Structure 1
């Protein structure tokens, strides 16, 4: 890939990430306002003159306990959804394409590695917006999340372990993590062998050929699973003239 192509790819990823962050911040603000409104409503009800009437006890309204920190404690996978850090890592790994193209296997693809479906009403050469790319990404992530929950069953996970498994399913598809296609992974999950799971997160081939990009992605996936390390492991080279390349 040329320096210009790398720069353009990086700019598109950064723009998508900026838009995702703005959207996430907006959603957080709305949730915060809703929680404040509910808390105020509960307080008003508790202080209402009619709260104590004919010897009745006022209804008790308590704020729900904070959720367990899944970065510190393993929890049921059903309680988890992909972190923002993992969404951004996915965008970095998959790249962002706003024009429908054919991937190495010949399938129409767009956005953040989204496989075009008939319902998308898109064909090769069509273009989409960043917002559509984000919508496709979020939809595909939800499918991958559900697939991981089916895969692990009642095995508790840290947030970053869940993230890494979602990346695996997003990358290779649910069919490729089945007992038939990934027997060692499934055995490790059933045994609760977390190191064994980490060892099975490698995926190096595309269309039958080994791809450096998938090797680095597998390293990143394993680092996320074992160490919550979301950074890109690709080597950065700096030339004598100060130019940076990866």
Structure 2
């Protein structure tokens, strides 16, 4: 007798629900997850490009470091000097390389502390901007203490970095405000005031 449609097939392999559950991707915008499960969002990449700009000619940043692309600090292996130019594709390659380093730095920084996507993004911006060394326990003890105690508000308070080469930089003030807004509210918009110039052009 043939089994009717929908009839239970005894002896058939039972579905492995534990595997199915493990394969389900948790929505990190709604649930805090382990940092190792996260990478920078596309929205964060756009915000980062806005902050750093995209420059194809090697220049010196406010701290005097040779820089190119999306805030990429020129390394000896890049074989580039101030005044040299790169392609847009090279700029994107540098960005992806630097993002991977920053993401790994954030993963080491937060350890097992679960975080939202936007919290991860804000911390990636921090590490990308100031370097992993500057968020170490020695250099940023309050930030590390907040992470250790799972004090998310305390973490947000420690995301401000305003100085470059020993001087306060207005651009870093706005960037810090944006970083904190990303961390606390998932608000990626640029906080800089926009004014209408006399000629009718937008200016900041």
* Structure-1-length-normalised TM-score: 0.74
Which residue, out of 31, 37, 46, partners 1:88? Answer: 46
1:200-240 Cα distance to aligned partner (Å, 9 max, x none): 00010111111110000000000000000001000011245
5+ long unaligned stretches in structure 2? 1-9
Q: Is the counterpart of residue 146 in structure 1 residue 104 in structure 2?
A: yes
Residue 47 of structure 2 aligns to a residue in which SS? helix
Structure 1's 153 and 63: CA in aligned 2 closer, same or farther, altered over 3 A? closer
Give the match for residue 243 of structure 1: 201
**Among residues 180, 196, 208, which one is paired with 2:166 in the alignment?**
208
Instruction: Give structure 1 stretches of 5+ with no counterpart.
Output: 1-54
Task: Please name the residue that 1:192 is paired with.
Answer: 150
How much has 1:104 moved relative to structure 2? 1.9
Return the alpha-carbon distance in structure 1 between the equivalents of residues 163 and 198 of structure 2. Answer: 34
Determine the C-alpha separation between the residues in 1 that align with 2:197 and 2:71.
Answer: 32
Indicate the structure with greater helix content.
Answer: 1
Q: Tell me the SS of whatever aligns to 1:166.
A: helix
Q: Which moved more, 1:102-111 or 1:165-174?
A: 102-111
> Could you tell me how far apart the structure 2 residues matched to 1:188 and 1:149 are?
15
Alignment correspondent of 1:15: none
Name the Cα RMSD after superposition. Answer: 2.0
TM-score, normalising length: structure 2: 0.88
Give the Cα separation in 1 of the matches to 2:165 and 2:134: 14
Work out the CA distance in 2 between the residues paired with 1:131 and 1:241.
Answer: 35
2:86 to 114, 122, 128: 128
Aligned residues: 193
